[in-house]
Amino acid sequence: MLELFAINTLLLVLAVLIHYECLYHITSYLPKSPFKPRSRILIGVLGAIFAHILEVWLFGAAYFLMHSHDSYGYLSGNFDGSLWDSIYFSFTVYTTLGFGDIEVHGPMRFLTGIESLTGLVLITWTASFLYLEMRRYWNML
């Protein structure tokens, strides 16, 4: 159980660091960019989506690796054990969409809870970030 806690904590910290660094670099780059304000907003949105995709892949890779070890549990249902299915599952968990076509069993369930909470917080952080960026550049349009 301690090992699973450490893995979950590491994934959480890595996801937050990825998000922080992406938003930090977007904030640093936009004011100095040669683009018009309208394009700056688009760059901010695309950069934030890229950060979320990286985070989903991080969790998806963890599901893929954990699924191959019996001690962490397994994924069942419409799941073939591939990395792509792991990424798909991660997208549904991260966004709290939860189609339900893939089920998680065993200790790996804790990771789905951590990922859902992390996704909710990071998506909200992105919304706040984009709101502030839009306020900064909207009047320049």
Per-residue confidence at 101, pLDDT binned at 50, 70, 90? very high
Mean pLDDT, rounded, for 122-141: 87
Q: Which domain holds residue 55?
A: 2-138
CA-to-CA distance for 95 and 98, rounded, in angstroms? 8
> Which residues are paired to 102 by β-bridges?
77
How far apart are alpha carbons 11 and 16 in whole angstroms? 9
Q: What is the pTM of this model?
A: 0.93
The whole-number pLDDT of residue 90 equals: 98
Mean pLDDT of 42-51: 95
Bridge partners of residue 75, in order along the sequence = 104
State how many domains the chain has: 1
Q: In this model, does residue 86 exceed pLDDT 90?
A: yes
Q: What pLDDT is attached to residue 70?
A: 85
Nearest residue to 19 via CA among 74, 92, 94: 94
**Mean pLDDT, range 12-35, rounded to an integer:** 94
State the pLDDT at residue 141: 58
Is 64's pLDDT higher than 90?
yes
Q: What CATH number did the domain enclosing 53 receive?
A: 1.10.287.70
Q: Please state the rounded mean pLDDT for residues 19-34.
A: 93
Residues 6+ apart with CB under 8 A from 133: 26, 27, 30, 40, 41, 44
Q: What is the pLDDT of residue 27?
A: 92
